[in-house]
């Protein structure tokens, strides 16, 4: 029997060995390491590291952002899910139960949102039409014909579109409806096959920048199992990134990061059980591995996860720059409930000030620098390519996938619009509308919900790390 001092020594050695085993990196062949081997350290083309972003998002941004997105102002999104695909005939998947979207009944929508459309304050709503016409028409002669007035309005809409990275829905269209995002969450729907493959193939192959000599490597008959699939035959454009300029690399990483985020949501809210009495949604580790495991994806999976952090940084930077827009005294997140609206704006500003104080923001000045003419040409290409991707979202056959695809592309497009409108934002008037920079309510809701999706994906990686640690 060991003497007491020796017993204490043995106990100490045991505790040290357990601690060391817990802190050491995963084994080379472990399930966790195969997905997260490259998801660490500094990000390419950035000065920030993954670990800093994890801590900032998971413990500061994520919990506050979830509270904001549960408010009435941010949960109701007006969208046209009936627009015709402009590129090919779409096979509808309305027969799949989980693809359906239930629009809101008009009496369920807060009065302030339903009547205001895209106005921000009660004062703006009462004089909306007069102010808008005066601003857009420049207080023109009342003797102008209706045809001329409408032509001027179209010119104004054209000017707005010239700065937009997305083709936004006409929310005045009778086909546009409000959707409660909390009642129609993004999750696995069963949408798969050649139709789902065609969406992502069109996005990557026809809209991402890459050498003309690179041809489409995919066979549509070998598509994946779920909405927005990542399979072994997934397009591996990352191998061509090294030869591209920083702007074209950034474009690809944004799309790849968005794709990765969507697939994380589908893996985290997977239909695990479907019986007549119960549906159970939860984390599907196997699905996550098929999309991100280094071996199963031929080395691409961990790179996709790293691109998730890139899009997080881009949208984070946009939110830091838009703070002056929301700080104006006459700006309200108007729903008709004054006390609640005041609370929501206070929470919004708290989040934006928190983001503003983040020390390692992406430097957008590294984009479109150099020769002004070439930079302007590249920026316009960048804008048109992304705008085209927003149009592809109307070709998604699963209606719920279409809803979240449209929202997230509009949110990212709004973030890009903000990033490249710095001078207009700096010169915003203290009160009233700006003639050079506007955000509609639709853009605001999309911007914050899209960032909420990216933030949730970063948080879910922490959950999947824990689940994968139990696998050998």
pLDDT digits (tens, 9 = 90+) for 289-321: 999 998 888 888 888 999 999 999 999 999 999
Q: What's the pLDDT at 32?
A: 75
Instruction: Please state, in angstroms and as integers, the Cα–Cα distance from residue 161 to each residue in 155, 156, 166, 402, following that order.
Output: 10, 9, 8, 22
Please list, in sequence order, all residues whose beta carbon lies within 8 angstroms of the beta carbon of residue 361, skipping any fewer than 6 positions away: 48, 313, 316, 317, 320
Q: What's the pLDDT at 241?
A: 66
pTM as predicted:
0.82
Region label for 457, one of left (φ > 0), alpha (ψ between -120 and 50) or beta (otherwise): alpha
Q: Is the pLDDT of residue 4 over 60?
A: no
Q: Is the pLDDT of residue 237 over 60?
A: no
Do 305 and 35 meet the contact criterion of CB atoms below 8 Å apart? yes
Q: Is the pLDDT of residue 130 over 70?
A: no
Does 32 or 393 have the greater pLDDT score? 393
| Position 233 confidence tier, pLDDT thresholds 50, 70, 90 | very low
Q: Is the pLDDT of residue 220 over 80?
A: no
Task: Say which residue the tokens 């790849």 belong to.
Answer: 256
The mean per-residue pLDDT over the stretch 113-138 comes to 47
Does 171 or 437 have the greater pLDDT score? 437
The mean per-residue pLDDT over the stretch 167-187 comes to 90
Q: What's the pLDDT at 219?
A: 32
Residue 76 phi/psi, 5° resolution? -105, 120
Does 71 or 98 have the greater pLDDT score? 71
Decide: residue 245, CB within 10 A, 0-12 exposed, 13-18 middle, 19+ buried: middle
Q: Among residues of the chain, what percentage have pLDDT more than 70? A: 75
| Position 38 confidence tier, pLDDT thresholds 50, 70, 90 | low
Q: Which of these ranges, 109-113, 284-288, 432-436, 442-446, has the smallest mean pLDDT?
A: 432-436
| Position 285 confidence tier, pLDDT thresholds 50, 70, 90 | very high
Closest by Cα among 282, 304, 309 to 293: 304
């Amino acid at each position: 029997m060991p003497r007491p001092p020796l017993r204490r020594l043995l106990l100490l050695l045991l505790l040290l060995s357990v601690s060391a085993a817990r802190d050491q990196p995963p084994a080379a062949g472990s399930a966790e390491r195969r997905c997260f081997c490259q998801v660490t350290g500094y990000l390419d083309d950035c000065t920030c590291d993954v670990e800093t972003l994890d801590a900032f998002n998971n413990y500061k941004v994520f919990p506050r952002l979830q509270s904001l997105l549960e408010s009435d102002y941010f949960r109701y999104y007006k969208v046209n899910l009936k627009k015709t695909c402009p590129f090919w005939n779409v096979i509808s998947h309305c027969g799949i139960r989980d693809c359906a979207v239930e629009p809101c009944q008009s009496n369920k929508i807060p009065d302030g949102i339903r009547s205001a459309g895209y106005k921000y304050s009660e004062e703006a709503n009462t004089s909306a039409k007069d102010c808008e016409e005066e601003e857009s028409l420049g207080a023109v002669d009342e003797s102008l014909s209706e045809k001329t007035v409408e032509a001027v309005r179209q010119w104004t809409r054209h000017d707005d579109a010239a700065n937009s990275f997305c083709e936004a829905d006409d929310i005045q269209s009778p086909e546009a409806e409000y959707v409660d995002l909390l009642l129609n969450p993004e999750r696995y729907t069963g949408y798969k096959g050649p139709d789902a493959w065609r969406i992502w193939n069109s996005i990557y192959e026809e809209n991402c920048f890459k050498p003309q000599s690179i041809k489409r490597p995919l066979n549509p008959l070998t598509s994946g199992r779920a909405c927005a699939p990542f399979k072994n035959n997934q397009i591996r454009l990352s191998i061509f990134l090294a030869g591209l300029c920083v702007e074209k690399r950034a474009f690809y990483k944004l799309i790849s990061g968005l794709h990765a985020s969507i697939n994380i949501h589908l893996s985290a809210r997977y239909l695990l059980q479907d019986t007549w009495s119960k549906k159970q949604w939860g984390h599907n580790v196997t699905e996550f591995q098929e999309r991100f495991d280094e071996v199963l994806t031929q080395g691409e999976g961990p790179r996709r996860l790293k691109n998730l952090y890139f899009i997080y940084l881009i949208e984070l930077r946009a939110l830091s720059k838009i703070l002056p827009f929301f700080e104006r005294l006459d700006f309200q997140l108007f729903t008709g409930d004054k006390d609640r609206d005041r609370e929501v704006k206070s929470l919004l500003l708290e989040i934006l000030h928190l983001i503003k104080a983040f020390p390692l923001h992406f430097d957008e000045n590294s984009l479109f620098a150099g020769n002004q003419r070439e930079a302007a040409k590249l920026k316009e290409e960048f804008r048109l390519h992304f705008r085209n991707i927003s149009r592809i979202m109307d070709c998604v056959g699963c209606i719920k996938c279409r809803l979240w695809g449209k929202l997230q592309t509009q949110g990212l497009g709004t973030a890009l619009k903000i990033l490249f409108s710095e001078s207009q934002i700096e010169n915003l008037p203290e009160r009233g509308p700006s003639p050079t920079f506007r955000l509609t309510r639709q853009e605001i809701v999309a911007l914050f919900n899209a960032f909420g999706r990216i933030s949730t994906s970063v948080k879910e990686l922490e959950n999947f790390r824990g689940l994968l640690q139990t696998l050998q």
